[in-house]
Amino acid sequence: MTPEAPDSVLDRVAERWGARSSLSRRAVVALLVLGVLAVAGALLVVRDRPEEVVVTELASQASPAGRDGAEQPGSGDDDAGSGAAEEPGADVVVHVGGEVVRPGLYTMPGGSRVADAVEEAGGPLPEADLDLVNLARPLTDGERVLVGVPQPDGASGEGPEGGGPLVNLNLAGQSELETLPGIGQKKAQQILAHRESLGGTFGSTEDLLGVDGIAEKTFRSLEPHVTVG
């Protein structure tokens, strides 16, 4: 079957509409053409209409996190500010010996210096050589501060281990006694002899004052290095 030409289709439609109405054949054809053009134009408009793009509002979703993130530095500054003031250091216990008025153990506030400990011990004796000690050095817990006397060999005086172990007067032999400052072979033998005269035991370190040749000044230099415990 051969398809009908467009003109024949329009003619047939025009004849049908013309037979049923008072419109002329030409008017019917014109109306049909206008209708076709209107439909074609509508299709073109629909086809060329841009598609709607759904944009996810990332900015609005991210803004809460952004606000939180903006607040965090402020809170961090607050935390840093609250921790900026350091708490005072703990007290330290030091042994002050040598040429001071009242040698012994002293509890000092954290941050104290050697000069503070010396002052707490009554100050240095008139004959004390203060050039032998660093009065400006900060104290450390458990150390020994020697005033006016040379440091023992190998001692740094910078901490609790600086002066080495104490010499036990009740257990030490001659060679160990000779490691004490100012004690040679003869003086060590005198200490041992004095210990025997006391029944083999020193009651306190002050008993060294009973040894021939050990006066107050020598005892002050020995006291930080000896014990009877």
The mean pLDDT values, 10 residues at a time, for the chain of 229 residues are 56 58 63 77 66 51 48 47 49 88 92 94 90 87 81 44 73 89 90 92 92 89 87
Residue with tokens 């040749």: 213
pLDDT (0 to 100) of residue 40? 74
d(CA 18, CA 1): 27
Return the half-sphere exposure (C-beta side, CA atoms, 13 A cut-off) of residue 191: 31
The residues near 176 (Cβ < 8 Å, ≥ 6 apart) are 167
d(CA 224, CA 210): 18
Residue type, 55: V
pLDDT (0 to 100) of residue 66? 46
pLDDT (0 to 100) of residue 42? 74
pLDDT (0 to 100) of residue 97? 85
The residues near 168 (Cβ < 8 Å, ≥ 6 apart) are 226, 227, 228, 229
